Structure 1
Amino acid sequence: MSTASIEIRDTAFDHPDSEALRAAQRVEIDARYGGDTEPGTKPSASDVPVFVVAYDDAGRPVGCGGLRQLDDASAEIKRMFVTPDARGTGVSVAVLHALEERARSRGWSTLRLETGTAQPDAVRFYEREGYTLIPNFGAYAGAAESLCYERRI
């Protein structure tokens, strides 16, 4: 699969494809951390106005991500995920760039995110894409397994 064969679609947070990808992410996160360790309010259709799903050339959903507004100028990336079989194919970059584009179109100039200490692959990805480690913000402040990043877009 090449990035040319990836289609990014704006999709509702509660669309069946979105739900299936988020469920797969939950299984992986629970396995890495031994359960749900996410502090704060879980994202929902009511507070994630932007959600995208990546589809491969067979029309299969292979990645997703969303944005939850933090303030007038910033949003948080939520539920960024790529299926294991699609990793390393450009899906994560396509989803992230789509989220950045949608953030800019809404006037948001800063994106933040939280990942965790048991996700070195995610840490490498975000750092490679220009995100900088920042002090843990919001509900993540004081969360030992949380790592927070930010990028001005």
Structure 2
Amino acid sequence: MPQHDTGLLMAYRSDRVAVTDRARNALRELIEQHGPILLYLPHRDSADPQPDWLPIRDFRAAEGDTLFGRLAWHTELWMSAQAYARFEREHLTVDVPADAGPAPGGDSNGGSPPEEAAIFLLRARRLSAAEAAALDSRKRGGHGTAT
């Protein structure tokens, strides 16, 4: 039975980002092939936001870059200041299209170039009133946890 895009989601250490099983598996495969990676969403004028992935050792945060959340396998989602302004009041789900993902290791071409090895998509929804209030509380210096 095919898995639907609205399949099970798994949240990892962030109440603002979730990861589909398909994306979690793609992250694991990329890490096995390339070592620790992160996802980075640059500013693009695109209806379908697609974060790039890159080895952590190659990432240099620019002024205004923001850590949006932590995902499976100790992977982080970073974004440019412009992208953060677009998604500041959103909950994001990282997904991989059903027909995309990391290229199998050991293929005859020596593997796909990194920019073609996996395609990630972000699906966004507005934060609920409770989520927005918790975010605002954390921004004001609160801990965002109830006792």
TM, length-normalised to structure 1: 0.25
Higher percent of residues as helix: 1
Q: Which has the larger radius of gyration?
A: 2
Q: Compare relative contact order (CA 8 Å, sep 6+) and give the higher one, 1 or 2.
A: 2
TM, length-normalised to structure 2: 0.26
